Amino acid sequence: MDIEQAILQRQSIRAYEDRDVSNETIRAILDAARWTPSGVNTQPWQIEVVTGASKQRISDAILSAREQSPAKPDYDYYPAEWREPYKARRKACGLALYGALAIGREDKDKMIEATNNNFRFFDAPVGMFFFMDRDMGQGSWLDMGMLLQSVMLLAKSHGLDTCPQASLAENPDVVRQMLGVSEDKLLVCGLSMGYAQANAAVNQYRTERLSVDEFTHWHD
C-alpha cells in the first residue's frame, strides 16, 4: 500500500474483529514510527501498549472512575465555546456517528453505551496511550501529532485499522496509576488498533472534508 492509499483509506474504526494482533506486528509499526520527525530530535513521546488482561483492567478502572467523578483531562482538547464553522462540523460529525449507530435523540441509554464503548477500546485487541513530559513546549504537540499519523498509516499498511481517541485521555490519573506512569507525564490521547469489522454499520460512514481551495490560498 502506498502513502496516498493509506491516507485515503484510513478512517476511525469503532468496531473490531475478535482477532489478536501479534506483538511482532505492533513492534514493527512502532519501530518504523520512531523515525517520525521532531523538533531538534527531541522525540518527546512515551507510548504505553495494553492488550489482553491489562487492557481489560484499565478499561474497567476508567469506567468505574467515570461513575464516581467527572472527567479531568490534563488539557482542554476542545474550545470552551463552539463557534462557526466548527460548531456545524461538530454537529454533522455527531449526527453521522449516531445515524450509523441508529441512535435517536431520545435514546439516552444507547448514547451512554456508545460513549462507554470508547473506554472499552471498541473491543479492539490493542490499546495505546501517548504521553509526553508536561514541561515541553507547543512544538512537541506537533511532534506528537506526526507520530500518531505515522502509527495510524503504518497500521494501515499492515492491514490494521485504528481510532485515535481524545476520550481515553479524559481520566489521566487513573491511566497513570494503572500503568505506573509518573505524574510529570501528560496524557495526550489513546488509540485503539485491530482488524476492522468490515460490515459493521458504524464503520460504513465517512465524514466530509473541505476541498483544497477551501483551506488553501495560493500566492504566485
DSSP state of 161: E
CATH topology of domain 12-77+120-200: NADH Oxidase (3.40.109)
Structural domain spans, the chain:
12-77+120-200
- Does the pLDDT at position 1 exceed 90? no
- What percentage of the chain reaches a pLDDT higher than 70? 100
**pLDDT band at residue 15 under the 50/70/90 scheme:** very high
What pLDDT score does 38 carry? 98
What pLDDT score does 106 carry? 86
DSSP of 45-113, one letter per residue?
Answer: -EEEEEEHHHHHHHHHHHHHHHHHS----SS-SS-SS--TTHHHHHHHHHHHHHHHTT--TT-HHHHHH
Instruction: Give the C-alpha separation, 169 to 74, whole Å.
Output: 8
172: Cα within 13 Å, side-chain hemisphere = 20
What pLDDT score does 183 carry? 97
DSSP state of 143: H
| Alpha carbon distances (Å) from 13 to 175, 205, 217 | 22, 10, 32
* 86-98 confidence digits (pLDDT tens): 999 999 999 999 9
Tell me the residue type at 107: D
What pLDDT score does 182 carry? 97
Helix (H) or strand (E) holding 188: strand 185-194
What pLDDT score does 177 carry? 97
Average pLDDT, integer, range 158-186: 97
* Average pLDDT score over the chain: 96
To the question of pTM greater than 0.85 for the whole model, the response is yes
